[in-house]
Amino acid sequence: MKLEDWHTHNALCHHAVGSIEDYIRKAIELELNTIGICDHFPFEFLKNIERIPYEDYAITLDEIKDYLSLAESLKDKYKNIINVRIAFEIDFFENQESALNTPLYKYKNHLDYILGSIHILDFHDGRGAWGFDDSRFRIDYNYYGPDKVYMEYYKTAQKMINSNEFDFDIIAHFDLPKKFNNIPNNKEIINNEVMKTLQLIKKRDVVMEINSGGLRKDAKEQYPSKEIIQEMYDLDISILLGSDAHDPNYIAWEFEKIINMLKKIGYNHLVHFKKRDKSYMEI
């Protein structure tokens, strides 16, 4: 079967290597059916991000036009060889949807899909928002401890899914707080939040990304875990695959292994997106 990778970055986001064309060429070499170009949406219009080194996290507002026009010209250049899809990975910030929607609105008609993500948490305790998956904030992760981080993460995910103004198609790296292999002590309480969040995902009918990036991190497993994927299958939540490649060499990372696992669980379809429209392919 032909593979599709819906989550790749490139040098424009300031923390990845390789040009967009490098990713497309590598995807062609790997005989992928589709490559999703999905860079981080800018942060600079947000409030309460004083501690966030956001210039390292994303392209800037000024760079959006070039990102989209370059991606669109490459989509056209390679259209007979591979499907190139254009997207953004967008961070959710509670009560800041309108600040986000003002710049996003202008570019939405260029997008094939939107990944909704949470990389930043704000406990509203005066410490300020911080990036829990950024090793530079290890001290904050340790300050709160895994139980509080997981809890706040899933509460924030629930707000994201419940937000009518936050527009997205796919939820990315669902159990990201495990990245550095921090495991919560009270698993039962966290599992309850996971289940609540999955039910909201089903209700809103958004797609879940199976992200192989976790296999390259201390967690040593895809996001989300096999146990969560089993629950997703029981709830009939649709899925697709993303490598989260920040280097062309990680495109479609371990996808065959993941597809074997998904088939064992019972999944037999993956989702595609084109101009925000969802369709399915068999695996």
Give residues in contact with Zn ion (CB under 5 A): 9, 117
CA–CA distance, 125 with 122 (Å, rounded to integer): 8
Q: Which is nearer to Zn ion, 2 or 220 (CB)?
A: 220
Minimum gap (Å) between residue 28 Cβ and Zn ion: 23
CA distance 51 to 131: 9
Structure-block tokens of residue 258: 């993941």
What is the nearest approach in angstroms of Zn ion to the Cβ of residue 117? 5
Shortest distance in whole angstroms from residue 116 CB to Zn ion: 10
Residue that the structure tokens 């490139």 belong to: 10
The residue (of 34 and 117) whose beta carbon lies closer to Zn ion is 117
Q: Mention every residue, 6+ apart, whose C-beta is less than 8 A from residue 120.
A: 49, 52, 91, 93, 129, 130, 131, 132
- Alpha-carbon gap, residue 222 to 225, rounded angstroms: 6
Max intra-chain CA distance, the chain:
53
Shorter beta-carbon distance to Zn ion: residue 26 or 173: 173
Radius of gyration from C-alpha coordinates of the chain: 18
**Least distance (Å) between residue 215 CB and Zn ion:** 15
225: closest CA among 169, 174, 271, 184?
A: 174
Residue closer to Zn ion, measured from CB, 14 or 189: 14
d(CA 128, CA 104): 25
> 144 or 223: whose CB is closer to Zn ion?
223
Q: Taking CB positions, which residue lies at the least distance from Zn ion?
A: 117
Shortest approach of Zn ion to residue 186 CB, angstroms? Answer: 26
Write down the least CB distance from residue 176 to Zn ion, Å: 7
Report the alpha-carbon distance of residue 64 to residue 39 in Å, rounded: 10
Which is nearer to Zn ion, 217 or 233 (by Cβ)? 217
Among 60, 65, 55, residue whose Cα is nearest residue 42: 60
Min dist CB 131 to Zn ion, Å, is: 11
Q: Where are the beta strands (DSSP E) in the chain?
A: 4-8, 34-40, 83-91, 113-117, 120-121, 130-131, 170-171, 207-211, 239-242, 269-274, 277-282
Beta carbon nearer to Zn ion, 78 or 180: 180
